[in-house]
């Protein structure tokens, strides 16, 4: 195989008869990106798996690849191909119909390219397909009904495209579907209640669309769900209590919608839950105390709602807690040990002193701004890992002005800069006297040398004068004798 201007790292596998059945290539291109048509696969008629990801290939996928004698070898002639991965390249244009002739395909992975247009109706020919990944392209239009023929499909990933229309009811025909990702498209309308018939579903990502209406209570029967992400839509009404029946749920993301009413108290039944986001809604009432008993829960985001009441001390067991932009009140009294790494209590009605937060040894982000806290400010030096601290718009006082907490919005020095200056001053306090002492010794030594040379010069001059005087006296004596 000849590939121009490419540094190729890959793997080739053969069967017992010596035929190449697998080619997996990772390449780094140099100069102009090559076209897939420049690659010759005609010598591998028994190819089962072809992966050319991160290849830097450009252009459209040609109807023909390589040459066999004088006759072109069509991509469709790779009749044994089961796995085709051309992800993370620069392919463009519409999806060629020739791909849909690879009827033995189990996996078609074309993510992270620049394909556009509608999906061809002939995609229905891929009846053995189990994994279809077309994410991060520019496909558009409604999902073709012909996808219902893909009854063996287990994973469907179409996120970050321009698909539109309603979520099709015929999705319920894909009874083996386990993974559904339609994130960041233009789907509209209500959530189809019929989705509950997909009893094998474990992962559902429908965020960043234009979905409206309530969550059907029947979704509580999707007991195999592990992830339910409906964030950044226009869903409304209250969160149905039936959600608590999803005993295997690990991630529930309903943020950035128009949900109202209280947080369901029976969320305590979600024993596997570790991520909960109900932020940016219209939820009111108090934070249910029972939610703090979920042993696996690590992340809670309830920001920008209408919640009121105190912040429970047991929430300190989390690693991430965002309760900003609510109407919470009371003081901050977290339990020790405090495992919080991210804490945002800004824009509430909280009051009291905040020195109890010094137990948060793992804190990296802390925002207490726009409350009614009083007493001493916190300092970066109180925390080992803190990188971001905001406590403005309170009634706090600083202990030492030059070590006051850093506010990113006012452009003050960061904690690391303060520590660096402290270390420099500490080192100067130790080494400056030593350096000055050495300077004085050097000056004394140089002064002694100068004094020695001056003294030596004076002695030499005196000797010269004495010699000159003796010569003069001798000359005068000889003159007298001659007379």
Q: How do residues 236-288 score in pLDDT, each as one tens digit?
A: 999 999 999 999 999 999 999 999 999 998 999 999 999 999 999 999 999 99
Beta strands in 150-305 (DSSP E): 155-157, 162-166, 179-181, 186-190, 203-205, 210-213, 227-229, 234-238, 251-253, 258-261, 275-277, 282-285, 299-301
Q: Kindly report the backbone phi and psi dihedral angles of residue 466, in degrees, each rounded to the nearest multiple of 5, phi listed first.
A: -65, -45
Indicate the pLDDT class of residue 474, thresholds 50, 70 and 90.
low
Residue reference for tokens 């009404």 = 237
d(CA 171, CA 151): 10
- Among 14-28, 99-113, 220-234, name the most confident range: 220-234
Q: Which two tokens stand for residue 470?
A: 């003796």
CA–CA distances in Å: residue 91 to residues 34, 36, 65, 111, 182:
11, 9, 15, 10, 21
The predicted structure's pLDDT at residue 431: 61
Q: How far is CA 197 from the centre of its chain?
A: 34
At 430-450, the pLDDT tens digits run: 566 677 777 767 766 666 655
User: 292 or 343, which is more confident?
Assistant: 343
Q: Which of 360, 308, 307, 303 is nearest to 333 (CA)?
A: 360
User: 271 or 459, which is more confident?
Assistant: 271
Secondary structure letter of residue 35 according to DSSP? B
- Kindly report the pTM of this predicted structure: 0.78
User: 8 or 439, which is more confident?
Assistant: 439
Q: How far is CA 385 from the centre of its chain?
A: 19
Indicate the pLDDT class of residue 37, thresholds 50, 70 and 90.
low
The predicted structure's pLDDT at residue 69: 34
Residue 346 in this model has a pLDDT that exceeds 90: yes
At 139-197, the pLDDT tens digits run: 999 999 999 999 999 999 999 999 999 999 999 999 999 999 999 999 999 999 999 99
d(CA 141, CA 163): 5
User: Strands 20-29, 6-14: parallel, antiparallel or unpaired by DSSP?
Assistant: antiparallel
HSE-CB of 417 using CA atoms within 13 angstroms:
10
Mean pLDDT for the stretch of residues 414-420: 47
Residue 459 in this model has a pLDDT that exceeds 90: no
The predicted structure's pLDDT at residue 15: 79
Query: What are the DSSP calls for 391-404, one per residue?
Result: --SSEEE-SSGGGP
d(CA 185, CA 160): 6
């Amino acid at each position: 195989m000849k590939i121009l201007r490419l540094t190729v790292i890959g793997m080739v596998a053969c069967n017992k008869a010596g035929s190449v059945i697998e080619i997996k290539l990772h390449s780094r291109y140099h100069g102009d990106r090559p076209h897939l048509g420049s690659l010759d696969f005609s010598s591998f008629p028994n190819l089962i798996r072809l992966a050319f990801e991160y290849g830097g290939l450009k252009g459209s996928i040609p109807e023909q690849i390589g040459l066999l004698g004088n006759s072109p070898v069509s991509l469709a002639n790779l009749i044994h191909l089961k796995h085709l991965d051309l992800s993370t390249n620069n392919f463009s244009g519409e999806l060629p119909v020739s791909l849909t002739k690879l009827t033995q395909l189990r996996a078609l992975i074309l993510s992270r390219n620049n394909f556009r247009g509608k999906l061809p109706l002939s995609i229905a020919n891929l009846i053995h397909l189990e994994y279809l990944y077309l994410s991060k392209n520019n496909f558009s239009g409604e999902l073709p009904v012909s996808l219902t023929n893909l009854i063996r499909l287990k994973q469907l990933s179409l996120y970050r495209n321009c698909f539109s229309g309603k979520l099709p009811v015929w999705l319920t025909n894909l009874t083996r579907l386990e993974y559904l990702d339609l994130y960041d498209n233009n789907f509209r309308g209500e959530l189809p209640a019929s989705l509950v018939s997909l009893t094998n579903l474990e992962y559902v990502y429908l965020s960043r669309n234009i979905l409206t209406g309530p969550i059907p209570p029947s979704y509580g029967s999707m007991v195999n769900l592990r992830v339910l992400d409906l964030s950044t839509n226009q869903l409304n009404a209250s969160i149905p209590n039936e959600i608590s029946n999803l005993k295997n749920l690990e991630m529930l993301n309903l943020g950035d919608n128009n949900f109202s009413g209280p947080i369901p108290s029976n969320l305590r039944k979600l024993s596997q839950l570790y991520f909960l986001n109900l932020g940016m809604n219209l939820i009111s009432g108090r934070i249910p105390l029972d939610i703090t008993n979920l042993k696996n829960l690590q992340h809670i985001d309830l920001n920008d709602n209408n919640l009121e009441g105190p912040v429970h001390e047991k929430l300190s067991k989390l690693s991430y807690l965002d309760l900003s932009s609510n109407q919470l009140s009371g003081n901050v009294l977290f339990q020790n040990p405090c495992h919080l790494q991210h804490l945002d209590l800004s824009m509430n009605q909280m009051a009291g002193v905040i020195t109890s937060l010094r137990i948060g040894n793992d804190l990296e982000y802390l925002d207490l701004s726009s409350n009614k806290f009083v007493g001493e400010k916190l300092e970066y030096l109180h925390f080992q890992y803190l990188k971001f601290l905001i406590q403005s718009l309170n009634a706090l006082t600083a202990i030492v002005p030059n070590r006051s907490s850093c506010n990113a919005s006012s452009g003050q020095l960061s904690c690391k800069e303060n520590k660096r200056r402290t270390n420099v001053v500490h080192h100067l306090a130790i080494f400056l006297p030593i350096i000055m002492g050495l300077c004085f010794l050097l000056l004394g030594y140089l002064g002694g040398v100068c004094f020695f040379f001056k003294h030596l010069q004076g002695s030499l001059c005196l000797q010269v004068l004495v010699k000159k005087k003796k010569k003069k006296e001798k000359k005068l004596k000889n003159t007298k004798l001659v007379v």
